[in-house]
Structure 1
Amino acid sequence: MTLRAGLLLCVLLALGVTPLSAETDPERTARRAAQMLDQAALALKDADGARDRVSALTQTIKAYEEGLVALREGMRRAAIREQSIRLVFDAQQDEISRLLGVLQTMQRAPETMLLLHPSGPLGTARSGMIISEVTPALQADAERLRDQLEEVALLRALQESAEDTLANGLSGVQDARTALSKAISDRTDLPPRFAADSEKLRALLESTDTLEGFASGLTSLSEGRDLPPLEQFTANKGTLPLPVRGTILRRFDEADAAGIRRPGLLIATRPLALVTTPVPATIRYRGPLLDYGNVMILEPAGDTLLVLAGLSDVYGEVGEVLSAGAPVGLMGGTNPKVGVFLGNSAKGGGSDHTETLYIELRQGNAPVDPAEWFGVIKD
């Protein structure tokens, strides 16, 4: 270990650049992500022979999404960690260079001269005692720096090896999405709750110019239908999972940049994210609606509608009864390229959350705050 390494370590320790804890270790996070993606690849193969292929593929896509999120987080931490160490090196470069100059001069001096002190034997003895006390600390510092330098090398290796892992993961999840779409189109075993009146639904679409008006008209078309009681749905209040993995952009009745308020949640998601129903529900409507893009309207209980707007693809047919966790569609966008994915990882934040899903929950023809039902913590 060089003297320069020892000096660099002292600077790192002085500025608080210490080894990462298990909770923030990018190496562990990345390795865990790789294992998750490997398991998802195996699940995709097993899904081909599964009896309920739709359910198997749904879980496979979720596994891929979890693994890709973990991999992105690992790469983000690795990039930040490496950058922080390099910034410390750069910031202390002048000071380190001066100290190295002094130490290199000492190294070039004859050993016999280093053992002598200008003040005589007493000074020489005292210097020897000081050196003997400093040497163990310097050795410990050198060992800690060795760990730091090994960590930098590991972080770089992780980032270089992530490309292949990521490419396989992105390809695998796209294959799973394609297989899911086909499996849903081939599915014929879902129980219908009622036969949709296509003429009335078409008339309602043509005569409605707001989501509220359409939802109210849709509710009136379901009068007398055999639906689960509201109490059964209410029992899940506060514990429902969000239909899609993402980040809340705007909450209930919160104004956007243009001052427009909507009685629902706006969720930022990654491209092609899978959207699922959080509770057993009947499909009341699926398809384009006004300026909301593709909309899926689910009826989990009598007098209750769950509106999901902004999807690119929607699954199922009107009247089908879905179980909790069943896929209802995909968000828009395209599968990111490996380089773009890794570039966004280094930047962090939500730069890859390019799609938005609007969630509205209506009871008795009036919107209610979905956050109370999905267990979303309010600010």
Structure 2
Amino acid sequence: MIRTALVLALLAAPAAAQDQAQAARNAARALEEASVQLDAAESARDQVRALTQTVQAYEEGLAALRDGLREAAIRETELSRRLAAQEGEISQLLGVLSALGTASGPQALLHPDGPVGSARAGMMLASVTPGLAQEAQQLRADLTEVTDLRALQENAAATLRDGLAGVQTARTELSQAVADRTALPKRFTEDPVRTAILIAATETLEGFASGLSEIATNETPADLPPVAARRGSLPLPVRGEILRRAGEADAAGVSRPGIVVATRSRALVTTPAAATVRYSGPLLDYGLVTILEPQPDLLLVLAGLDTTYAQTGEILPEGAPVGLMGGDEPGTGEDPSPSREASGAGRTETLYIEVREGDAPVDPLEWFASDKG
């Protein structure tokens, strides 16, 4: 299976830095654990949980491989430029070493000034030779490292292609498991007519959020774990890099109170905490939007998804799949070449995250930890 192959590759693949190697080992361990849970899963809900962990483990492992590729490419470029800059010096060094290597012992000690000159020449040669040998040794080490780095990149790129195929399969299986699972507990039933009226009357996200209570019928009290103590430490709902912070203007000069996270194509979006789904569907110019309520008067707005798994009114546990980002399917439209990974390309999708306390937005980084890359 591709899953098993990627585990072995992650454990064996060299990395350019220790942290990437450790990240790869952690991802491989998580992938094995998810595989065990998937084999033991009896219900569709268990399969959703196990497949969610599988997709996340793939994403973690692929990120470690990409980081290793990037570090390797940077190091290779650095060494290649240094060797190119020393090309003339290297040629002279090789010439001297070649001459020393072919000269016979007696001739090397002869000098026109006689024994004294020969002794002086011998002393000079003895002092120069260790330096020449050291330079030759460094040159040999650099050339060997360049060769090893190129082989590493070729092997890692092949592993990356296998991983991309594996995560694509896991995402497909996850979508099917979500469709097959039994209904999750519901806090309320959505009134589709009221929802349609609210959307038609809404011009801003703020206006829509303030009217969310109107679309709920038969609502029951929520019994969710408190999240107030986790302020500042909630995990980001998607793996990516923060592209814009709250209040920063985009290319069009528009600023919003939320953050924008750049992600890879088809990245998995999950709940950062157990929450009620207050709304899930298209909204204004935000694309597909899911609004989560972990506690009363706290809303987490996730906008820009391509596929949504959540249904309005459901209660989702922490880490549950919310949906997928858009973009080309990995393995078809994504080029896993070392040069592409070294440039940091590939984060083509963006997820907008807004946090609202009461009727006002707050900086999402007051709630989320921002060290997820």
Length-normalised TM-score, structure 2: 0.84
Q: Specify the alignment match of 2:212 in structure 1.
A: 218
1:201 and 2:195 equivalent? yes
1:340 and 2:335 equivalent? yes
Q: Specify the alignment match of 1:15 in structure 2.
A: none
1:366 and 2:360 equivalent? yes
- RMSD over aligned CA atoms reads 2.8
Letter of the 1:204 counterpart: L
**Kindly tell me: are residues 141 and 29 of structure 1, through their superposed partners in 2, closer, same or farther at Cα, counting changes over 3 Å?**
farther
In structure 1, distance between residues paired with 2:226 and 2:24: 40
Which shows bigger deviation, 69-78 or 93-102?
93-102
Letter of the 2:164 counterpart: L
In structure 1, distance between residues paired with 2:121 and 2:104: 16
Choose the corresponding residue for 1:127, options 103, 121, 125: 121
Choose the corresponding residue for 1:50, options 15, 20, 41: 41
Alignment of 1:220-259 (within 5 A): 220-221=214-215, 225-227=220-222, 232-259=226-253
Choose the corresponding residue for 2:16, options 26, 46, 66: 26
CA shift, 1:112, in A, is 2.3
Q: Specify the alignment match of 1:277 in structure 2.
A: 271
Letter of the 2:70 counterpart: R
**Kindly tell me: are residues 25 and 56 of structure 1, through their superposed partners in 2, closer, same or farther at Cα, counting changes over 3 Å?**
closer
**Kindly tell me: are residues 346 and 220 of structure 1, through their superposed partners in 2, closer, same or farther at Cα, counting changes over 3 Å?**
closer
Choose the corresponding residue for 2:163, options 169, 185, 191: 169
Letter of the 1:26 counterpart: A
Alignment of 1:275-354 (within 5 A): 275-337=269-331, 340-349=335-344, 351-354=345-348
Overall identity of the aligned pairs, in %: 53
8 Å Cα contact 2:157/2:338 also seen in 1: no
In structure 2, distance between residues paired with 1:375 and 1:166: 28
Local SS of the residue matching 1:341? coil
Q: Specify the alignment match of 1:10 in structure 2.
A: none
Letter of the 1:82 counterpart: E
CA shift, 1:99, in A, is 4.3
In structure 2, distance between residues paired with 1:295 and 1:198: 16
8 Å Cα contact 2:237/2:272 also seen in 1: yes
8 Å Cα contact 2:153/2:338 also seen in 1: no
In structure 2, distance between residues paired with 1:360 and 1:226: 24
Q: Specify the alignment match of 1:4 in structure 2.
A: none
Q: Specify the alignment match of 1:7 in structure 2.
A: none
8 Å Cα contact 2:257/2:354 also seen in 1: yes
CA shift, 1:217, in A, is 0.8
CA shift, 1:97, in A, is 2.6
Which shows bigger deviation, 356-365 or 36-45?
36-45
Length-normalised TM-score, structure 1: 0.83
In structure 2, distance between residues paired with 1:87 and 1:32: 29
**Kindly tell me: are residues 233 and 37 of structure 1, through their superposed partners in 2, closer, same or farther at Cα, counting changes over 3 Å?**
closer
**Kindly tell me: are residues 345 and 370 of structure 1, through their superposed partners in 2, closer, same or farther at Cα, counting changes over 3 Å?**
same
**Superimposed CA distance per residue, residues 141-178 of structure 1 (whole angstroms, 9 cap, x where no aligned partner):** 44444333322221121122223311210111011101
In structure 2, distance between residues paired with 1:26 and 1:302: 46
**Kindly tell me: are residues 149 and 99 of structure 1, through their superposed partners in 2, closer, same or farther at Cα, counting changes over 3 Å?**
closer
